[in-house]
């Protein structure tokens, strides 16, 4: 009963977005994405659409100048170099990551996550990398540790500037995964009774302690990210689990179906915005 109430609250929050398709009999992801972009560009009329991928740095001129200075010697640079070395190193069977991905894994970040119609599941880049390792006799990496962050940092770097291009195939399971991700985004949880949208739709640009909240639009385009509070890199999985912990909710397991569906939804509504990862945040 409680989850049903939370979902209704989330539905009402989403319905507040101009042009939202949530009230329609049939889900309409393109209309959702258009409404999502319209909501944020009207809320922050001085921010260019493509600049939303810069997160909190797009919200404040002072922070933007700090970010420009930081980009001269970016803290994620070491991860990109490490990731490149890891990506190029053959597995013990002689194959490599390049054998597992289209275009040998270069410049493909903008196509993830995608819905696998054979498996009936959302496949994220992190999941695809570990499946590649296991298929070649290698142990999987932790989804929240440095190795996975370095690999995804390098792959993101090779896609910088390419527009996010997430597709929803003509498959009811794909549409359901998208809807599940949207539901998770707007459902309140934890002791603080927050949803993802509480911070990233209702409150972007505002401060929580020393942190400036990022807008949900384009938030995953910058992943993985270096965070000062972590003193290191973090994957999308790490960000999701950390967010749940911060609102005093029990985090799901990394790459749980709900997290992957959430990533699918958030990526789809940011279609067309450029890949800017890896990124850096306070």
> Tens of pLDDT along 16-52?
454 354 444 688 999 999 999 999 999 999 999 999 9
User: Residue 10's pLDDT band (boundaries 50, 70, 90)?
Assistant: very low
Q: Fold match between 2-73+168-281 and 77-157?
A: yes
235: exposed, middle or buried (Cβ count in 10 Å: 0-12, 13-18, 19+): buried
Return the active site residues. Answer: 243
Q: What is the dihedral of CA 186, 190, 192, 198, to 10 degrees?
A: -20
Q: What are the C-alpha distances in Å from 51 to residues 40, 136, 161, 217?
A: 11, 39, 11, 10
Architecture of domain 77-157: Orthogonal Bundle (1.10)
| Closest-CA residue to 60 (of 209, 215, 279) | 215
Give the range among 41-45, 63-67, 270-274 with minimum mean pLDDT: 63-67
The set of long-range contacts for 10-15, using a CB threshold of 8 Å and a minimum separation of 24, is 10/183, 10/185, 10/186, 10/187, 10/188, 10/195, 10/197, 11/186, 13/186, 13/195, 13/197, 13/201, 13/202, 14/182, 14/186, 14/197
Question: What is the model's pLDDT at position 129?
Answer: 98
pLDDT at 281: 83
Q: Is 225 within 8 Å of 75 (Cβ atoms)?
A: no
Q: Which residue has the tokens 């992190």?
A: 126
pLDDT at 13 over 50: no
Determine what percent of the chain is predicted with pLDDT higher than 90. Answer: 74
Residue 209 has pLDDT above 80, yes or no: no
Give the model confidence (pLDDT) of 76-105 as tens digits: 999 999 999 999 999 999 999 999 999 999
Peptide bond into 200 cis (omega under 30): no
Rounded CA gap, 145 and 147, in Å? 6
Q: Which residues contact 159 (CB under 8 A, 6 or more apart)?
A: 107, 108, 109, 110, 275, 277
- Whether 217 and 269 have beta carbons less than 8 Å apart is answered as yes
Task: Give the start-to-end residue ranges of the domains of the chain.
Answer: 2-73+168-281, 77-157
Residue 189 dihedral angles phi and psi, to the nearest 5°: -155, 170
2-73+168-281 maps to which CATH number? Answer: 1.10.760.10
DSSP state of 163: B
In three-state secondary structure terms, 234 is: strand
Q: How much is the mean pLDDT over the chain?
A: 89
Reported pTM? 0.90
Helices (H) and strands (E) in the chain, counts: 10, 7
């Amino acid at each position: 009963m409680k989850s049903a109430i939370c979902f209704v609250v989330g539905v009402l929050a989403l319905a507040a977005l101009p042009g939202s398709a949530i009230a329609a009999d049939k889900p309409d992801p393109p209309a959702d994405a258009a409404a999502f972009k319209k909501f944020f560009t009207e809320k922050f009329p001085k921010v260019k659409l493509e600049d939303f991928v810069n997160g909190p740095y797009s919200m404040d001129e002072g922070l933007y100048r700090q970010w420009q200075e930081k980009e001269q010697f970016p803290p994620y640079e070491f991860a990109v170099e490490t990731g490149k070395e890891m990506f190029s190193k053959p597995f013990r069977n002689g194959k490599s990551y390049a054998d597992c991905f289209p275009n040998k894994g270069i410049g493909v970040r903008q196509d993830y996550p995608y819905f696998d119609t054979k498996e009936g599941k959302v496949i994220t880049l992190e999941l695809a990398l570990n499946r590649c390792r296991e298929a070649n006799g290698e142990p999987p990496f932790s989804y929240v540790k440095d190795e996975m962050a370095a690999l995804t940092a390098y792959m993101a770097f090779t896609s910088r500037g390419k527009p996010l291009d997430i597709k929803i195939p003509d498959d009811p399971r794909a549409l359901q995964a998208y809807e599940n991700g949207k539901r998770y985004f707007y459902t309140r949880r934890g002791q603080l009774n927050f949803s993802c949208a509480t911070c990233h739709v209702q409150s972007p640009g505002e401060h929580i302690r020393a942190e400036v909240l990022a807008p949900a639009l384009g938030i995953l385009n910058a992943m993985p990210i270096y965070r000062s509070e972590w003193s290191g890199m973090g994957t999308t999985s790490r960000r999701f689990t950390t967010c749940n912990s911060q609102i005093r909710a029990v985090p799901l397991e990394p790459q749980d179906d709900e997290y992957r569906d959430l990533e699918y939804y958030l990526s789809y509504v940011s279609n067309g915005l450029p890949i800017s990862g890896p990124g850096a945040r306070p």
